[in-house]
């Protein structure tokens, strides 16, 4: 999917350990003119783009994909979470 968006907030680059592996990410709060949504650059792209300064005052083109993950609450109820993963941001 490709959208024109404005970057409302750049949460920057971060790394964390998961099962003995270093996971990198870079998160953004985006606005497509209708919705605000959180989007994340996964490891390799986040590492390549960690020093890039995106202009928060201009429109950007984002390409990525949505995924839905099933989760379970502490009380046993199942629910779904939507995630948007960035493939390209220019």
- pLDDT tens profile 1-32: 999 999 999 999 999 998 999 999 999 999 99
Query: Which two structure tokens, joined as six digits, stand for 42?
Result: 């996964």
Domain hosting 75: range is: 2-89
The pair phi, psi for residue 43, each rounded to 5°, is: -40, -65
For residue 13, CA distances in Å to 35, 51, 89, 90 come to: 23, 8, 15, 17
pLDDT single digits (tens) 33-65: 999 999 999 989 999 999 999 999 999 999 999
For the chain, what is the domain count?
A: 1
| Residue 2: per-residue pLDDT | 94
- Could you tell me the CATH number of the domain that includes residue 80? 2.40.50.140
pLDDT at 19: 92
| pLDDT value, residue 83 | 94
Q: pLDDT tens across 76-86, in order?
A: 999 999 999 99
């Amino acid at each position: 999917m490709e959208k024109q968006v404005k970057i409302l907030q750049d949460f920057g680059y971060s790394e964390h350990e998961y099962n003995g592996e270093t996971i990198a990410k870079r998160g953004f709060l985006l606005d497509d003119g209708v919705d605000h949504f959180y989007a994340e650059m996964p490891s390799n792209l986040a590492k390549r783009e960690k020093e890039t300064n995106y202009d928060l005052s201009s429109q950007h083109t984002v390409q990525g994909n949505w995924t839905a993950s099933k989760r379970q609450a502490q009380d046993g109820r199942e629910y779904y979470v939507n995630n948007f993963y960035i493939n390209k941001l220019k």
